[in-house]
Amino acid sequence: MEAIIRMEHLYKSYGDKQVLRDINLEVYPGQVIGYIGPNGAGKSTTVKILCGLLSDFEGSVVVKGFDMKQDPLSIKRIIGYVPELSDLYEVLTPAEYLELIAGLHELPAEIASTRIPKMLAAFGLEGQIHQRMDTFSKGMRQKVLLISGLLHNPDILILDEPLSGLDANSVIIVKELISRLAAEGKTIFYCSHMMDVVEKVSDRIVLLNEGTIVADGSFESLKTELGQGSLENIFARLTTQGLHHDAASDLVSAFDLPYISRTAEDE
């Protein structure tokens, strides 16, 4: 099977700081990639390059046969991007905002007019279609953001903390949606710090640390190889070497108070 995303010898620096160091990665249609790493590992930089938001990188990025440096616009047409934070033009209603997004993707008006209310209703926003978004909660805005990334039916969906602010029922919908899109051959690039969710929705996990890939495989294969029972433990072992325990102790000791256990308090 031909890779739908191919990164070869990808490097990116900000001034003297090297953020990505020789990233080589092939992603195939229908895969759900859990792309994880600690803060500053290079996840967001990778995503920005994939979305055509950063052009001054070294190496090669080819998406569905299109070279990112030569034809970024063709790549943007086949990618849906859901950032963790985004300005939604809050003076607009969901219908107005999504009509704008549909126009940018050159989605025919008759398709957009049918698709937009159906997608809003699926997320329980049918009663707010014509309500200005400056009154919306964070979760409601996140639902509109998710719909904007899906509206043009992209081949590749890039999700950066997509569950931020969502209620439990909406989280279930998004998880099921990811599974169904992958079954239809869509490729999902999923970035998150929620290890339990990544573990459940991803069929392949790529772990980044200090700009390099330190693990790549299914959760089961990584668990077998590293002898760890959860993705959280694998993450901690490869990125902190157990230093999170020392950090927790240092934070507690900063209060300069004697340690009293809950058991002692109860007695």
What domains lie within the chain, and their CATH numbers?
Answer: 5-78+156-163+182-266 (3.40.50.300), 87-153 (no CATH)
Once rounded to an integer, what is the mean pLDDT over residues 115-134?
95
Q: Is the alpha carbon torsion for 35, 41, 42, 47 positive or negative?
A: positive
pLDDT class of 241 with cuts at 50, 70, 90: low
Residues 68-103: tens digit of each pLDDT = 999 999 999 999 999 887 778 889 999 999 999 999
Sheet containing strand 58-63, strands side by side: 17-27, 5-14, 58-63, 66-67
Helix axes 138-150, 168-183, angle to 10 degrees: 10
Task: Give CA 163 to chain center in angstroms.
Answer: 9
The two tokens of residue 15 are 């001034």
Once rounded to an integer, what is the mean pLDDT over residues 10-19?
94
Residue 33 has pLDDT above 80, yes or no: yes
Question: If you ran DSSP here, which 8-state letter would residue 208 be given?
Answer: E
pTM attached to this predicted model: 0.85
- Kindly provide the residue ranges of all beta strands, DSSP E only, lying in 128-217, ordered along the sequence: 156-160, 187-191, 204-209, 212-217
